[in-house]
Each structure stands twice: as structure tokens, then as C-alpha cells.
A and B are shown apart, each in its own frame.
Chain A
Amino acid sequence: MEFGTSGMLNEDGIHVDMDRLKKGEVNLGTSIMAITFKDGVILGADSRTTTGAYIANRVTDKLTQVHDTIWCCRSGSAADTQAVADIVQYQLAMYGTMNGKPPTTQTAAAMFQELCYENKDRLSAGLIIAGWDERHGGQVYSIPAGGSLHKQAYSIGGSGSTYIYGYCDANWKEGMEESQAVDFVKGALQEAIKWDGSSGGVIRMVVLTKKGANRHLYLPDSDYKIRHQ
């Protein structure tokens, strides 16, 4: 796809991320989300990566660890978001060793934002940062294209997210139990995968609490019912 020159958003305004891709670039078509719950946060994502209509990877892992209990969901350009996540992972490791205490989620979010904002002309990245730390518990921050930073109770992102705004708004509850929260994420991602051609494959989740990071995996051939990891 060519860069637009009009300086205007597309009329539907939603596919900004996709239009910002460079020629032939691998796109995380994507449905991603992260939510807060009673004991921490849960990140969730589909596993489809596309170049145009071709599925370049059907088992992608879009949930990326940047510190022990700070992770992010990546959408937009795979190359750009991997590069950004790698830089922040390095910076957080430095922070942890130099200050003798683990970084907080907002520290990570601030670092992500600085990179996304200062390089907005060159990046196509839509990130959700979710983490748990002793002082603040579970927190979710969203960094959409352009590089603004938004604290949220839960956040959804990627092209598939537009199909589940209604589902999430109607079913969202604050302070859910873990099992209830996992069901919420799974239910939302199932809908996104169903309606968005650029999302698909397996559902991956990471649960972040004081006990650390815990991965979940659900497969389409068992209708996402059985936990495989």
C-alpha cells in the first residue's frame, strides 16, 4: 500500500495503522487486549500475521515480555514493534540492575511512549502495556499510533478490536476473579477472530500477578475450550 499524501485519515479512521505500513511490510493484522482484574492483569492476543491477504505466520506470539511482570501486546508493523520492545526490554533490565529495584509499569509505559512519540514519523506501532508491581498492582496503558499514553481499566487494540467495542463495553466488570477475567478475554478475542479477516489462529494469554507470569493457550480446533498451556 502506498503512503497517502492528503494528510487526512481514511474516512472510517480505523485503518490508520495499516495504511502507515511501508511497502510489503509484515503487518500484525491483529486483535490484542489487556485487562485489569482482582489480582493483577491479563494480556491476550490472536496469532495471525499477514502480508496483504497471505498469512505469513499462523502461530505468532504477540505477547512480549519486557521485564519479569511487565509485558506488552504488539500491533502494527511487526518489525517496528519488535524493535521498540527490544529497546525497552534492555532499558528496563538496566533500570532493574542500576536502581536495585524492579521498574514499575508506568516506568515501562513512559519508556515506550518516549520511543513511540519521538519517532512517530517512522513507526507504525499500536501497543498495550500491561504489568504488575508490588506498589501499584495490575495496570494497563495504551499507546496508540501517534504516541499518546492512556491509562485504562482495560484496553483493546488492532484491526480486530473495532468489532468488539460493543462486546467489551457490555460485558466488562471491574474487579473480576481470575477465571471470570480469562473468560472475558477469551470471549472477546473469539468474536474479534470471527469477524476480522486479519485476526485468527490460536488465542494466547498471559496472567500477571504477584505470583509472576502465567501463560495460557487455546486452540481453534477445540473451539478455544481446552487450555493447552
Chain B
Amino acid sequence: MTSIGTGYDLSNSVFSPDGRNFQVEYAVKAVENGGTSIGIRCKDGVVLAVEKVITSKLLKPGANKRIATIDRHMGAVSSGLVPDGRHFVSRAREEASSWRKVYKSPISTSDLASRMGGYLQAYTLYSSVRPFGITAIVAGWDSEVETPVDAQVGNGPSIGSGGKAEGKKYGGPGLYMIEPSGIYWGYYGAATGKGRQTAKAELEKLDLAAGTLSLEDGVKEAARIIYVAHDDNKDKEFELEMTWISNLEGPTKGRHQEVPKELLEEAERLAKKALEGDDDDEETTDKPEDKMEE
């Protein structure tokens, strides 16, 4: 890398003469080594999935979860340095609960992404800290119906309130990805970590912008994509971890929960089957390595 030896990469909050913050770029490198995380925004919910690389056979299977609940209706997963991910989650939980304390209603996915974007960005400004070595994917379901104030008593008119603007829709699925620089965007499908390029290619094939993919199909696609993306990393064993948030009528009733065991196993079975099919035609093709070193 050109940065090496110039000294401009040694301190956070110092630009190089061509306007780069090398500490942020190195943080991105840490992300690129992490297990693949993805999120899919479906018409009736959102799915999060992560390839949890097993670092030791002495670890209990299924323990040490990597996807966390931020608030009842929201979850997050990250790729990169696991402790940084934990701190991200802890801060996100604080943001969500302080929002509730002030506004007595749940924070929207976009507002949480905005707050966390601001938080991560602050870690690029000071020489006393380093940027977050993670890229996080935040998924949530914002209520599509009018929700009462937390602990509301009383109901208002039985015919409902008058004077609403006609024909507007509110709430729905939210999916955001926040990078070490603090930048964040809303996505139809998001991927980060080692297998992100393969995963992104697969996500693009799903035409998620059409908003037709169902949540249950989304779960199956998510499992398949994690398996496909893992193909580059075949020598390491991994566990698939998945959570979802459905709309209020759906299986999770707007809450962030683990995908039930039966569905997870079914999705994994289908993923493995799809992979075997793939292997037949492209067993010997060399995967392009995404090297960026010089």
C-alpha cells in the first residue's frame, strides 16, 4: 500500500495529502476478513443472516450469538471485529431505549441508522480513538398501523381520528448498512464481510427492488447466499445464524426473533442442495480473488 512508510496512516483524524483517512481504510480491511453478513428486505419482513466461522471445536454449537436484538422490533449483525460489534450493539440499545424514554414510542429503523452513523463517524475524528472495525447491518420493522403511545390509556373516538391524509402508507421493512467511516445507506439487500462480493451478486439476481419476495422465501435465499458466499472459504467450518422480523400479521408479529429451528434447518437443507447443483457445473473455475494489496 502507498500509505506504508508515509506516516499518514499512523494517526486517526489525520488526512493524507490526497485526502484519505488511512485508519478508516484499514478498518475496512478488518471488515473484509470477517464472516459474511447479509440482510434482505422482503415485502412482509426483513431477514438477517451471518456466516459464523467456527474458531475452535471446543466452542459450544449455537452459543455466542452474533445477531443481536436492539429493540423489540429491530436487530443488527456485523462483520469484522466481534468486540467492536458488541459495542455497536450496546450503543444501539442505549439509543433505542433513550428514544423510547423521550418519545414513548419505538425508534424507526432510519432514525436508529442515523444515530449510529453519527456515532461511528465520531470515531474517525479523534486521535485518541480508532474507527470501528465493523460494518453493521441493521434491520427493523416500523409499524404499518397507528401505534399507541407506550402505556397509553384511553382510545379516542370509536370511528378513528378524522382528517388523515388520504392514500399514504407508513412503516414497513427497514434495512441499513453502516460502515466504519460512519457512512450509511438504506438497502434492498445488504452484504458485508469476506463473501460480500459473491453475496451481492446473488442479492442482485433477486430483484428485491420489485418488493415481491416473501419473508419465508427471503429466509431460504439468505441461507443459500451465505452457503454460496462461504464457498470461497471452504476450508473453514461455519454455523449459519438467522433472525427475522415480520409484519404485524406475520409469524413474529413485528418483533425481532431467531428464525425457528425447523425453518432454519429446511433453509439449510435447500441451500446445501442448491450448492451441490452448482458444484457440478463450475467445480474447476477459479474464483477471482479480490486482492487490493500492492
Chain A directly contacts chain B within the complex, with at least one CB pair under 8 Å: yes
The residues of A with any CB-CB pair to B shorter than 8 Å are 36-41, 99, 106-107, 109-111, 113-114, 132, 134-140, 142, 148-153, 174-175, 209-210
Given contacts A113-B104, A134-B164, A135-B164, contact A36 B157 (CB under 8 A): yes
Q: A110-B104, A136-B164 are in contact. Are A151 and B152 (CB under 8 A)?
A: yes
B159 & A111 in contact (Cβ 8 Å cutoff): no
> Which of B102, B159, B170 meets A110, CB within 8 Å?
B102
Which residues in window 27-44 of B have CB below 8 A to A?
none
* B209 within 8 A of partner (CB): no
Do the beta carbons of A138 and B104 come within 8 Å of each other? no
B199 smallest CB distance to A (angstroms): 32
Task: Please state if A210 and B163 are interface contacts (CB–CB under 8 Å).
Answer: yes
* Nearest 6 CB-CB pairings of A with B: A137-B161, A110-B104, A137-B164, A151-B154, A153-B157, A40-B163
Would you mind naming 21 contact pairs between A and B with Cβ atoms under 8 Å apart?
Answer: A106-B104, A107-B103, A114-B104, A132-B163, A135-B164, A135-B168, A136-B161, A136-B164, A138-B163, A139-B156, A140-B156, A142-B154, A149-B151, A149-B152, A150-B153, A151-B148, A152-B156, A153-B158, A175-B157, A175-B159, A210-B165
Which residues of B lie under 8 Å from residue A99 when comparing CB positions? Answer: 111
CB-defined contacts of A110 to chain B, threshold 8 Å:
102-105, 149
Q: Which residues of A have CB within 8 Å of B152?
A: 149, 151
- Does B165 lie within 8 Å of A106, measured CB to CB? no
> Least Cβ distance of A159 to chain B in Å?
22
**Which residues B88-130 have CB closer than 8 A to chain A?**
101-105, 111
Residues in B131-167 with C-beta less than 8 Å from chain A: 146, 148-149, 151-165
A136 x B146 contact (CB < 8 A): yes
User: Does B163 contact A39, Cβ atoms closer than 8 Å?
Assistant: yes
Q: A110-B149, A151-B148 are in contact. Are A138 and B162 (CB under 8 A)?
A: yes
The CA of A151 and the CA of B149, in the complex, are separated in Å by 9
Bound CA span A93–B146, Å: 23
Q: What's the dominant secondary structure at chain A's contact region?
A: mixed
Closest partner residue, chain B, to A91 (CB atom): B102
Give the interface of B toward A (CB within 8 A): 101-105, 111, 146, 148-149, 151-165, 168, 170
Number of A-B contacts defined by CB within 8 Å: 84
**A41 contacts across to B, CB distance below 8 A:** 163
Asked if B161 contacts A138 (CB within 8 A), the reply is yes
Q: How far is the CA of A99 from the CA of B152 in the complex (A)?
A: 24
Tell me whether A135 and B159 are in contact (CB under 8 A): no
Given contacts A151-B156, A153-B158, 8 further A-B contacts (CB under 8 A): A36-B161, A110-B149, A114-B101, A135-B170, A136-B164, A149-B149, A151-B155, A209-B163
How many angstroms between the C-alpha atoms of A153 and B157 in the bound complex? 4
Within 8 Å by CB of B161, from A113, A139, A150, lies A139
Bound: A107/B156 CA distance, A: 16
Whether A151 contacts B153 by the Cβ 8 Å rule is yes
**Within the assembled complex, what's the spacing in Å between the Cα atoms of A115 and B13?**
40
Q: Give Cα A139 to B157, complex, Å.
A: 9
CA distance A218 to B67 in the complex (A): 61
| Cross-chain contact of A39 among B103, B159, B162 (Cβ < 8 A) | B162
Of the candidates B159, B163, B164, the one having the most CB atoms from chain A within 10 angstroms of its own CB is B163
> Would A38 and B157 count as touching, CB distance under 8 A?
no
Q: Is the CB of B165 within 8 A of A40?
A: no
A174 to B168, CA, bound (A): 23
**Docked-complex contact B163 and A174, CB < 8 angstroms:** no
**Closest residue of chain B to A152, judged by CB?**
B154
Select which of B105, B149, B165 is within 8 A of A135 by beta carbon: B165
Contact B162 A137 (CB under 8 A): yes
Residues of A within 8 A of B149 (CB): 106, 109-110, 149, 151
In angstroms, Cα B175 to Cα A93, docked, is 28
Complex Cα distance, B152 from A132, in Å, reads 18
Chain A residue with Cβ nearest B152: A151
Inter-chain CA distance A175–B163, complex, in Å, is 10
Contacts of B160 in A (CB 8 A): 137
Shortest distance between the CB of B176 and any CB in chain A (Å) = 15
Q: Which residue of A lies closest to B171 (CB)?
A: A135
With a cutoff of 8 Å between Cβ atoms, the chain A residues found around residue B158 in the complex are: 153, 174
